[in-house]
Structure 1
Amino acid sequence: MIRHLVLLKLNEGVDRGEPRVQASARAFAELGAVIPELEFWECAWNISDRPIAYDFAINSAVADTDALTRYVEHPAHQAAAAQWREFATWVIADYPF
């Protein structure tokens, strides 16, 4: 199994209450039911207000590197990520467990 973690940070001046931001969060929330490669899926807004905190987190798991590639290339994932690209940056970590 591979854990796929993503932390998203809204760009300066972007508020999580904006409609486009809320739509993007919903798009990610729906991926767990849409992409068959996902063995585990959760995402949510961070509740921490510390200066170093990211704003939104995704915690997921796939069976192997091939499944990870299929997930990343899936059209629903690509569409959801494209929405975030307009107003956020992110970091990822993929590791076996």
Structure 2
Amino acid sequence: MFKVKCTFQGEKTLEVIGGRSALWQSQDFSASLPDTDSKTGKTDYAWAYFMAKQAGKLGELGCPDGSIDDALNFLADNYDIAFEPIDDSAPLVFTPDK
């Protein structure tokens, strides 16, 4: 499990908790992006977007309806984001077999 903190203009913070599937969705989205200097940042904001979407929090963030590109541009222009892992003993922790 992961938590993303979305901070609006240094004031209001919304925390969203999500699982690994939001990360996978952001990685899949990232695969369609051109290999530019902004790709990593867009991927991070896509992860925050998919976490918020899964949690039903896009409205609280004020994301516009429409394309994911519109939503990502809005989030990037209005929010700082920070990711934190939650409790390493959570059931979603993946330990590969040796």
Q: TM-score range by the shorter chain?
A: under 0.3
Structure index of larger Rg: 2
TM superposition score normalised by structure 2: 0.26
More helix by share: 2
TM superposition score normalised by structure 1: 0.27
Greater RCO (Cα-Cα under 8 Å, separation 6 or more): 1
